[in-house]
Amino acid sequence: MTEHYDALETRSGDARAAALAVALPRAIGAAQRAAHWAVALAGVDAARVTGAPALAALPVTRKSELVARQAEVPPFGGLDVLPITALARVYASPGPIHEGEPEAPDFWRYARALHATGLRAGALLHNCFAYHFTPAGMMLEGGARALGCPVFPGGTGNTEMQARAAAHLRPACYSGTPDFLKAILEAGDALGLDLASLRLAHVTGGAFLPALRTWYAARGLTVMQSYGTADLGLIAYESVAREGLILDEGVVVEIVRPGTGDPLPDGEVGEVVVTTLSPLAPMIRFATGDLSAILPGASPCGRTNRRIRGWMGRADQAAKVRGMFVRPEQVAEVVRQHPGVGRARLVISLDGDRDTMILRAEATDASLAEALAQSLQAVTRLRGAVEVVPPGTLPNDGKVIDDTRPAP
């Protein structure tokens, strides 16, 4: 059984950089044909954007803006390179946010993740992702078909029927949310069904908690997870090493300070920003709203691409204070005005029935407090206290706004 999907997974850093220097200008040039990217990337010479430093100079497009953008410019907000008549499928994910799928083998690039799970040609995949409205079902099906695997489109729900179908069809692998497989297996146990054919599983779309990992391991199942979105397809996937998630070969991932497009050093928690390299549907510096961090070094499994820690929460941390929204990009603007400041966190709490704010900022110069308070009021139009703390005091968790008020 081959360990790696293709030679791309084990290539050298120099080879990957050389390939990126070709693919990135091609993707940006293709994107500039779409209405949104033509404006966002106006004046950008695609041929000069050949690596991470040049990419980091380009503007960020935020997923949080897509609902309004698509309502204004239907159906895809001007991010689409291909006309709708050239697409194979069109989806409506919650939001609603609409996505198009071109006619292309394994367009969402999930074969790589399924291969890392252990799925091989001829094995039946029991696919329990939704086949209606969202692309999840087709994302995993496309990957399985690219591997030469037949697919049972189980979809969501109907737990007892799923168990009976699995007992009859004898699939080798499950794909779906982390907890639904447990429900199917428990239903099979209650019905006295033999589900021993299921030895592999690929899960995404929810938290894969340690207790659930332990439960599957006790039953002898190999279960791997991945991180992807309906806008971007596969972003990163787990291997047998189980040390973080390895970045897909079809994307460039940056970790930026929430509310900005400024890349953070490896190890720092920030917002996941993704650039896809397919000229059929390029996404350039697309801010997912998710938090993660780059892990140092390479995976022990032999794959050489960079790794992330996985999904670590949401970067969209806007909060309403005294009737006005405060957003991470405002906190970032305050910090930007004071070069001596490192991490910063705006803590929102209640004093009686009144909202209060305190900006905790890492710096060596305590005298910055007054200037920071003035900047905080100017940027947010709200008064708040400032506490200057030593560097390294604030947690490395990507949280910029910490709303400690009790839920309404």
Tell whether the model's pLDDT for residue 231 goes beyond 90: yes
| Virtual torsion, Cα 89, 90, 93, 96, nearest 10 deg | 180
Burial class (CB in 10 A: 0-12, 13-18, 19+), 300: exposed
Q: Which amino acid is at 240?
A: V
pTM equals 0.89
Work out the number of other CB atoms within 10 angstroms of the CB of residue 59: 13
Angle ∠(76,263,24) on CA atoms, nearest 5: 55
Tell whether the model's pLDDT for residue 314 goes beyond 90: no
Residue 408: per-residue pLDDT: 65
Task: Report d(CA 360, CA 78) in Å as an integer.
Answer: 39
Mean pLDDT of 222-237: 97
DSSP state of 205: S
Residue 2: per-residue pLDDT: 64
Q: How far is CA 335 from CA 222, 258, 325, 388, in A?
A: 45, 12, 18, 12
The SS3 call for residue 182 is helix
Mean pLDDT of 34-49: 97
pLDDT digits over 347-397, tens only?
A: 999 988 789 999 999 999 999 999 999 999 999 999 999 999 999 999 999
**Cβ proximity of 210 and 189 under 8 Å:** no
H/E element, 233: strand 233-237
Residue 207: per-residue pLDDT: 86
The answer to which of 175-184, 233-242, 275-284, 308-317 has the lowest mean pLDDT is 308-317
Residue 1: per-residue pLDDT: 44
Task: Report d(CA 39, CA 32) in Å as an integer.
Answer: 8
The SS3 call for residue 318 is coil
Residues β-bridged to residue 62: 287
pLDDT digits over 267-304, tens only?
A: 999 999 999 999 999 999 999 999 999 999 999 999 99
200-230: b or e for each residue (b if 16 or more CB lie within 10 Å)? bbbbbbeebeeebbebbeeeebebbbbbbbb
Q: 316 pLDDT band (50/70/90 cuts)? A: confident
Mean pLDDT of 184-188: 97
Q: 237 pLDDT band (50/70/90 cuts)? A: very high
Residue 114: per-residue pLDDT: 98
**Cβ proximity of 223 and 201 under 8 Å:** yes
Work out the number of other CB atoms within 10 angstroms of the CB of residue 12: 9
As a whole-number percent, the residues of the chain with pLDDT over 70 amount to: 99
